[in-house]
Amino acid sequence: MADVKLLGTWPSPFSYRVILALKLKGIDYEYIEQDLSNKSPLLLQSNPVHKKIPVSNPVHKKIPVLIHGGKPISESMIILQYLDESWPETYPLLPADPHERALARFWIKFAEEKLVPAFMIFRTSGEEQEKAVKEALEVMEILEEHAFGSLKEKEFFGGDKVNMVDLTYGLMGLRIVPD
């Protein structure tokens, strides 16, 4: 039996952050697809926060959950950091240089605080939606300048190799692709 299990759902960008990180690091894992309309006992017992928090503040949700050696870890970005700390000898998900690391953490925080809430445009209507659209456009302008602008100097937003910054942002596009 695999020592690493991932509870996730298609097409959650948060699950796919972890899947890509596991693949980049070459870690063998067992993927266990979850039905969010009928949560499995394994999922409910693995995530300590069962209560649904409003979508405007999507801090603790149910998936993804990584279970390593029987111990569960929730929250995609915390899982990515855990993977990097637990498998330091494999593909690094953060840059080695302290300044570049700090920049990577800054953009990861920006995504969690500004980009994820920007998706409220799909869950609101009327005046509330207009406000959400205005805020989302401001976030996109900042990203256009800093993410795409930075590609003149490096291969990816996170640096010359795909790293945690790219995993944070890359899959958010899934949310805006029509079904």
Measure Cα distances from 134 to 86, 123, 128 in Å.
41, 14, 10
Of 79, 114, 80, 99, give the one whose Cα is nearest residue 159: 99
- The dihedral over CA atoms of 59, 17, 32, 60, expressed in degrees to the nearest 10, equals 0
In the list 23, 50, 52, 131, the residue contacting ligand GSH (rule: CB under 6 A) is: 52
- Cα 151 to the center of its chain, rounded Å: 21
Q: Does 61 bind ligand GSH (CB under 6 A)?
A: yes
Give whichever of 78 and 142 is closer to ligand GSH, judged by the CB atom.
78
Of 173, 176, 177, 179, give the one whose Cα is nearest residue 17: 173
Q: Does 64 bind ligand GSH (CB under 6 A)?
A: yes
CA dist 80 and 58 (Å) reads 18
Shortest distance (Å) from residue 131 CB to ligand GSH = 22
Binding segment for ligand GSH (CB under 6 A), chosen from 73-81, 95-103, 141-149, 165-173, is: 73-81
Q: Does 8 bind ligand GSH (CB under 6 A)?
A: no
In the list 3, 23, 36, 56, the residue contacting ligand GSH (rule: CB under 6 A) is: 36
**Residue 61: both structure tokens together:** 């949700």
Q: How many residues in the shown chain lie near ligand GSH by CB under 6 A?
A: 13
Q: Does 76 bind ligand GSH (CB under 6 A)?
A: yes
Q: Are 71 and 52 in contact (CB under 8 A)?
A: no
Q: Does 109 bind ligand GSH (CB under 6 A)?
A: no
Q: Does 163 bind ligand GSH (CB under 6 A)?
A: no
Phi–psi pair at 64, nearest 5 degrees: -80, 155
In the list 6, 7, 14, 29, the residue contacting ligand GSH (rule: CB under 6 A) is: 14
Q: Does 58 bind ligand GSH (CB under 6 A)?
A: yes
**3-class state of residue 121 by DSSP:** helix
Give whichever of 105 and 150 is closer to ligand GSH, judged by the CB atom.
105
Residues in contact with ligand GSH by the rule CB under 6 A: 12, 14, 36, 52, 58-59, 61-64, 75-77
